[in-house]
Amino acid sequence: MAKKTIRDIDVKGKKCLVRCDFNVPMVDGVITDENRINGALPTIKYLLDGGAKVILCSHMGKPHNIFTEGFGLNKKEKKAVEALPADEQAAAKADFIATALKKDQKKFTLKPVADRLNQIFPGKVTFATDLVGDDAKSKVAALKDGEAVLLENTRFDAGEEKNSEALCAKLAEFCEVYVNDAFGTAHRAHATTAGIVQFGFAKTAVSGFLIEKELKFLGGAIENPARPFVSILGGAKVSDKIGVIESLIDKCDTLIIGGGMAYTFRKALGYKVGGSLLEEDKVELAKQLMAKAEAKGIKMLLPIDNVIADAFSNDANIKVVDGDIEDGWQGLDIGPKTIALFSEAIATAKTVVWNGPMGVFEFEKFAVGTKAIAKALSETDAITIIGGGDSAAAVAQLGYADKMSHISTGGGASLEFLEGKVLPGIDCLNNK
């Protein structure tokens, strides 16, 4: 169902809590890739120009898990605490937690992101050193129309990943409008991705422009694709993508399987796969999926030749084989005949969705297949949708990003969306 966006509401003078995805790579506090920041800019600019008071929030990385049972202590720390007298254990645990959190705050702070946003929107963005504490309260209270504050890493609060109602209530005090523009975390039911709406605190809940774009392209591919519709799935394991394969068999015209997961299908066809990645317990499932595709008249394309190696290394000896892979060798990329087969299917398509590399993309010797698929996509007139993750990285590295119709900002979220799962961060938004 179509969801309301920030265009559908009056934002002037309103406090808008905006969930972004600022989980950007950083080295020593320096941002090394601004793509996720750039993706959020249209929404932020629209709100600032519209006179909203903008409260931005995001997670950053995976901080030290100090909030789980065991207080996040490693075995050595836990043993040291348990050796203390009972009346001293609580204080010792608190010291360990404080030390861990201090280290994580230095590594995972969003301060560099706030500084960059303030360069893009000069003098309009401040930074709060906590999420719902005194500094956040004072910075939010001081906001004027057309100004923004970025709150500290949401995952520094135990309530974020636990979807704490108490945290949601505190966040709700900051805002009149909730805006979700973080598609990459929309499949998670956390406090700032869904809970604030699910618990009834935010009555007005809309999407930003980034999520609107994701729903337009991914939703269009699922609900009403231009045909022929070709889906390309790669990556390591069949088990990771069972639901997606089953869903796409019901929707696409051609389903291409590559990457490590293809060897389980090859085994199901009766080929020997040597030391290639294999899920033996999924061979029967692979047979069933192929039978289902055939019954529905869906063309399923598997590798017809493979680049194999005598070791999992970029320095390994390699050769190309059409049939069985002998013991002592393993398949690490698709071969030239397969590249031609897959590229031909892409050339005749009107819609293509791609998620997952064709080989061990991190090794130059075995990145040939993935690069060839990216090139084929760059040369087609079809609607091309890249489903995040390694596929998005490959397209960007090869300089083809501007030739794609859409590159998803959420690998896991895009897979779940393609699978037909309900994404909490989307489901909670107001319907049009």
For the annotated catalytic residues, the residue numbers are 36, 237, 389, 412
Between the alpha carbon of residue 199 and those of residues 169, 338, 423, the distances in Å are: 9, 51, 16
81 token code pair: 């605490």
Give the whole-angstrom CA distance, residue 183 versus residue 425: 8
375 token code pair: 């090139």
Where in 59-188 does DSSP place strands (E)? 125-127, 147-150, 177-180
Give the single-character DSSP code of 199. T
Give the whole-angstrom CA distance, residue 252 versus residue 234: 16
CA neighbor of 90 nearest in space, from 106, 71, 76, 104: 71
Sequence-separated (6 or more) residues with CB below 8 Å from residue 288:
none
Backbone angles phi, psi at 105, to 5 degrees: -65, -35
SS (H, E, C) 120-147: HCCCCEEECCCCCCHHHHHHHHCCCCCE
Sign of CA dihedral 94, 100, 106, 111: negative
Give the whole-angstrom CA distance, residue 151 versus residue 229: 42
Residue 14 identity: K
